[in-house]
Amino acid sequence: MSYQPWHVEIDGEWTTLDILKGREQGKTIVAQLKDTNDREQARSMIGIDLYIEKSQLPKLSKGEYYWEDLIGLEVINQKGIVLGKVSNLVDTGANNVLIINGEKEHWVPYIEPFLIEVNLDKQQILVDWDEDF
C-alpha cells in the first residue's frame, strides 16, 4: 500500500489525510492516520470515501484502462452504428459490463468477442453488438 496523501470530503470540506501505515482488508482499507490518536477520532472516519490524485494510480499495461477513462466514450458497432456513450461500468462477478446510453440503453460485456477495440485518441470503443439487442 502506498503512503501518499489521500483526500476526503468531510462536512462539505476537502481535507488531506496522511497515512502512516495501512493495509487492504477485503474491499476496505484499514489505516493509521497521522494526528488521529484516539478511538473516537478514528470512529468518525469509518465509512468515509477516500480519493487520490489520478497521478497516484499505478501505470497500466497496454490495453488496460481505468473505468474513468472509458466513461463518456462513444460506442459504435462493426456496422458503424453509434450505440451511445458509456455512462458507467458494472462488475457482475463474471465480467465487467459497459452501460451504454443512446437511443436505448445497452449492456455490453467488456470482454472478447464483444469488445473489439478501445481507441482513446478517437474517444471510441468498437464492439460486436447488434443495435437492437
24 alpha-carbon distance from chain centroid? 17
Using one digit for the tens of pLDDT, what is the confidence trace for 59-90?
Answer: 999 989 999 999 999 999 999 999 999 999 99
Residue 117 has pLDDT above 70, yes or no: yes
% the chain with pLDDT above 90: 53
Assess contact for 6 and 51: CB atoms under 8 A. yes
Listed in order, the ranges of the chain carrying CATH 2.30.30.240 are 67-127
Using one digit for the tens of pLDDT, what is the confidence trace for 19-40?
Answer: 888 888 887 878 888 888 888 8
Of the candidates 102, 96, 111, 103, the one whose C-alpha atom is nearest the C-alpha of residue 73 is 102
**pLDDT at res. 12:** 75
State in words which class domain 67-127 has. Answer: mainly beta
Mean pLDDT of 9-13: 73
- Following DSSP, what letter does each residue of 53-89 receive, concatenated? -GGGSPPPPTT---HHHHTT-EEEETTS-EEEEEEEE
Assess contact for 100 and 84: CB atoms under 8 A. yes
